[in-house]
Amino acid sequence: MAKRLFEGDEAWSEVTSRCNNEMEALLAVVLVNLEAELGESVDLRDFHYVGANALASFVAELSIRRRLGDGDEAPRDKSYYPRLTTPFNSDDEDRPKMKKMSFCSWI
C-alpha cells in the first residue's frame, strides 16, 4: 500500500508542506520560462489549465502503470519531449539552456 500524505485528521505534515513548496517552486520556474519564450505575461487562467492538465495526466498515467505493474514503477522517461528549455548540451540557440544541476537548485 502506498504511503498517504494525509492520514487520520487530514493535517498537513512537514513533508507534505515541503512537497507543496517544491511543486510551487517548479511551477514558478515553468512560468518564468514560458513568459520568457512568449515575451509577455501569460493569462493565468490558461497557465492554470495547462498545469492542472499536466498534473492530472501525469498522475493518471502513473496510476495505470503501477496498477498493471508491481506497484512501484517509476514515471515514464519524458526527457526527449519538447520543452520550454533545452538540455545544457543542445545546439538549439532559440531557447534558454538548462543548467547542469538539479532543477530546483537554479530557481
Please, what are the averages of pLDDT over each run of 10 residues along the chain (107 residues)? 81 91 94 92 98 96 92 88 70 53 46
Q: What is the pTM of this model?
A: 0.74
Query: Which pLDDT score, from 0 to 100, does residue 101 have?
Result: 38
Query: Which pLDDT score, from 0 to 100, does residue 102 have?
Result: 43
Query: Which pLDDT score, from 0 to 100, does residue 51 have?
Result: 97
d(CA 26, CA 58): 15
d(CA 76, CA 57): 12
Cβ(15)–Cβ(5) below 8 Å = yes
